[in-house]
Amino acid sequence: MTSDALSNLLQEDRRFPPDDDFAAQANATAALYDEAREDRLAFWDRQARELLTWDTEWNQVLDWSNPPFAKWFVGGRLNVAYNCVDRHVEAGHGDRVAIHWEGEPGDSRTLTYADLQREVSQAANALIALGVGHGDRVAIYMPMIPEVAIAMLACARIGAIHSVVFGGFSAEALRSRIEDAQAKLVITADGGYRRGKPASLKPAVDEAVAASPSVDKVLVVRRTEQEVDWDNTRDVWWHDIVGSQPIDHTPEAHDAEDTLYILYTSGTTGKPKGIQHSAGGYLLQTAYTHRNVFDLKPDSDVYWCTADVGWVTGHSYLVYGPLANGATQVMYEGTPDFPEAGRWWDIVEKYGVTILYTAPTAIRTFMKQGEEIPARRDLSSLRVLGSVGEPINPEAWIWYRRVIGADRTPIVDTWWQTETGAIMISPLPGVTAAKPGSAQVPLPGIAADVVDDAGNVVPDGHGGYLVLTEPWPSMLRTIWGDDQRFIDTYWSRFEGQYFAGDGAKKDEDGDIWLLGRVDDVMNVSGHRISTTEVESALVSHSKVAEAAVVGASDPTTGQGIVAFVILRADAGDGGADVVAELRAHVAKEIGPIAKPRQILVVAELPKTRSGKIMRRLLRDVAENRELGDVQTLADPTVMNLISSGLAKSS
């Protein structure tokens, strides 16, 4: 007998089969699944030959003789930057735009692949001049400007390991990451534009580096031209040293298993971990997924991923995947609401964006603001929409497709993690009949399942824990400097399987629905209930834009459900009527067991800097505890607002 780890409550019956015209031109076909099922390693072998250019062929696709430490494309050698830049120029695409960059104040720059080749080569020469070599760590703490991609590619080109730290993080967060990786060089800028003002970066670097003996030099890009303190023995302007380097640099081949980068996780659940990725398998899976999940056509698409380069989405789908595929893409420096709420849609219209990849938090914010804002822009160029970062509530999915995608575009809900390096579970546009709210199926070449507490696979129609059952090319190789934590965190919960830390269910068709973090699952009168399902029920009410749900200890039921909701702009002020209405609505959508004990209307929710809801802080509020660690919270004042609101209402 298997016991359910999660009750399966919410029903969603809407289906969106692929459109015939789209399917006829799609990169992906159903045959990919068959090919990968027949021989998974032969499948990856073929992808590696077709999508990347290698200097030396591998002698083994996967070495899994010492699990959980994988080696992919053993003996293979390649240069990641050559694959992302030079080979496109050699193939005659030097004039193709690689990056349409849009600054927040409205300035812009266009870089072709030939421009990128020159600038990456110069930057690589500059790194060498600064004493950086193969295997050295470089911390990158920058705004969203082209130099951030150039810096990453320059590191990759010489085999230095980058560790990008999100520019919104504090000096202390930067310092601890520099220390953990023992970085030798920090690349930064004077500042970047946020919400109409120059925000500074250099002071945080000065503070962090003062306490970081490993750092020799700080390389600084001039962006805002604000005043900066300067240490002549340590600080170097990018335009001085990079600009004066030769424009040629011959890329050397590196081992497929050489470390490409370290990236610390977002810290939604606790202390960030330094996730380590290696060159060959990572580049392959980002290129493969970017081509098939977004249906990328390099000579006609204009692709835009809105993620900050400080998150894994920015690494895999703003730098490595798209550039390996020779894509033309948009990169935007600033906030979505500057100078006004329609800025993103202006950018879509201006560049004729065809593929948009963003996060549920952004979509729910747009829902809150109202659909008149996107309706005033021409979004007809869009043909594929993507979502990543959190479960997308079915109602937000429907809104995204109807309002942004003109009720026509496929939506790909892509599940993956910093640790997985690339997309793992997602529909394929043109192939999969989409279900709003479900990431659905592991991609061809990927093996995932849902298991119960004892590690047994649950039957269709049941819930449990998401696991990855076979190694994959872009998997993390370890946690930087901490093999034991790597084993303990991911490989010890279930024998021989990767434990993702997310709850999931399989529906009657075997499709996978992500149900939130295992740490967030609620236990109400013996039923294990997912936060995602109750949140989705709340968001399906026409007055609700966003909801966060937690379980708070309850003397009778074990845990009681406490919901925090943000109303849509046109929903009124949310008095007692709305609360009663919403409680009844949840009871109707998923059953009386899931009816929230308490509902609070709030103006904001606590989110990480990557935009994810931090439920553990809401649980602290709901249980009247002192707040846990708020370091990774985007706006710490949000918690005071919520706590005082709770005190008033109870």
| 286 binds ligand ATP, rule: CB under 6 A | no
Encoding tokens for residue 559?
């845990």
The only residue of 7, 117, 259, 269 in contact with ligand ATP, by rule CB under 6 A? 269
Kindly tell me which of 215 and 424 has the beta carbon lying closer to ligand ATP. 424
Quote the CA–CA distance of 62 and 411 in Å, as a whole number.
Answer: 32
Quote the CA–CA distance of 319 and 313 in Å, as a whole number.
Answer: 9
474 annotated as ligand-binding: no
| 413 binds ligand ATP, rule: CB under 6 A | yes
Cis bond leading into 339, ω under 30°? yes
Kindly tell me which of 228 and 439 has the beta carbon lying closer to ligand ATP. 439
Q: Confirm if 112 and 98 have CB atoms less than 8 A apart.
A: yes
289 annotated as ligand-binding: no
Site size toward ligand ATP, by CB under 6 A: 25
391 annotated as ligand-binding: yes
User: Looking only at residues 387 through 406 of this chain, which bind ligand ATP when binding is defined by CB under 6 A?
Assistant: 388-391
In the complex, least distance from residue 331 CB atom to ligand ATP, rounded to whole angstroms: 19
Alpha-carbon distances, residue 512 vs 12, 439, 460 (angstroms) = 13, 6, 9
In the complex, least distance from residue 390 CB atom to ligand ATP, rounded to whole angstroms: 5
Alpha-carbon distances, residue 573 vs 363, 369, 578, 610, 650 (angstroms) = 22, 15, 9, 28, 18
- Contact flags string 584-623 toward ligand ATP, x per CB under 6 A: --------------------------x-x-----------
Q: Which pairing describes strands 137-141 and 161-164: parallel, antiparallel, or unpaired?
A: parallel
| 176 binds ligand ATP, rule: CB under 6 A | no
From the number of C-beta atoms within 10 Å of its C-beta (0-12, 13-18, 19+), residue 287 rates as buried
517 annotated as ligand-binding: yes
227 annotated as ligand-binding: no
The only residue of 101, 113, 294, 415 in contact with ligand ATP, by rule CB under 6 A? 415
In the complex, least distance from residue 352 CB atom to ligand ATP, rounded to whole angstroms: 26
In the complex, least distance from residue 608 CB atom to ligand ATP, rounded to whole angstroms: 6
Quote the CA–CA distance of 590 and 597 in Å, as a whole number.
Answer: 15
| 480 binds ligand ATP, rule: CB under 6 A | no
218 annotated as ligand-binding: no
Query: Using CB under 6 A, which of the segments 11-19, 178-186, 261-269, 455-463 binds ligand ATP?
Result: 261-269
Quote the CA–CA distance of 330 and 338 in Å, as a whole number.
Answer: 17
Write out the H or E segment, with its range, that includes residue 362.
Answer: helix 360-369
Q: Confirm if 187 and 149 have CB atoms less than 8 A apart.
A: no
In the complex, least distance from residue 269 CB atom to ligand ATP, rounded to whole angstroms: 3
Kindly tell me which of 188 and 438 has the beta carbon lying closer to ligand ATP. 438
528 annotated as ligand-binding: yes
Helix axis angle, 31-38 to 40-51, nearest 10°: 120
Quote the CA–CA distance of 155 and 23 in Å, as a whole number.
Answer: 39
Encoding tokens for residue 358?
């963003």
User: Looking only at residues 298 through 327 of this chain, which bind ligand ATP when binding is defined by CB under 6 A?
Assistant: 311-312
194 annotated as ligand-binding: yes
Quickly list DSSP for 277-312: EEHHHHHHHHHHHHHHHTT--TTT-EEEE-S-TTSH
Kindly tell me which of 86 and 419 has the beta carbon lying closer to ligand ATP. 419
| 439 binds ligand ATP, rule: CB under 6 A | yes
Quote the CA–CA distance of 472 and 498 in Å, as a whole number.
Answer: 11
Quote the CA–CA distance of 81 and 122 in Å, as a whole number.
Answer: 13
Return the number of other C-beta atoms located less than 10 Å from residue 572's C-beta. 10
The only residue of 266, 285, 393, 497 in contact with ligand ATP, by rule CB under 6 A? 266
Query: Using CB under 6 A, which of the segments 31-39, 175-183, 500-508, 552-560 binds ligand ATP?
Result: 500-508
User: Looking only at residues 621 through 640 of this chain, which bind ligand ATP when binding is defined by CB under 6 A?
Assistant: none
| 548 binds ligand ATP, rule: CB under 6 A | no
Calculate ∠ Cα 581-586-587, nearest 5°: 95
| 517 binds ligand ATP, rule: CB under 6 A | yes
Residue partners of 467: CB distance under 8 A and separation at least 6:
448, 449, 450, 451, 494, 497, 498, 499, 500
In the complex, least distance from residue 442 CB atom to ligand ATP, rounded to whole angstroms: 13
The only residue of 268, 276, 285, 540 in contact with ligand ATP, by rule CB under 6 A? 268
Kindly tell me which of 176 and 266 has the beta carbon lying closer to ligand ATP. 266
Burial 162-179 (b: 16+ CB within 10 A, else e): bbbbbbbbebebbbbbbb
In the complex, least distance from residue 175 CB atom to ligand ATP, rounded to whole angstroms: 18
- Contact flags string 112-141 toward ligand ATP, x per CB under 6 A: ------------------------------
Q: Confirm if 300 and 338 have CB atoms less than 8 A apart.
A: no
Show binding-site residues for CoA: 194-197, 313, 525
For the annotated binding site for Mg(2+), the residues are 539, 541, 544
Q: Annotated binding site, which residues?
A: 194-197, 313, 389-391, 413-418, 502, 517, 525, 528, 539, 541, 544
Output the known binding site for ATP. Answer: 389-391, 413-418, 502, 517, 528
Binding site for ligand ATP (CB under 6 A): 265-269, 272, 311-312, 388-391, 413-415, 417-418, 439, 500-502, 514, 517, 610, 612
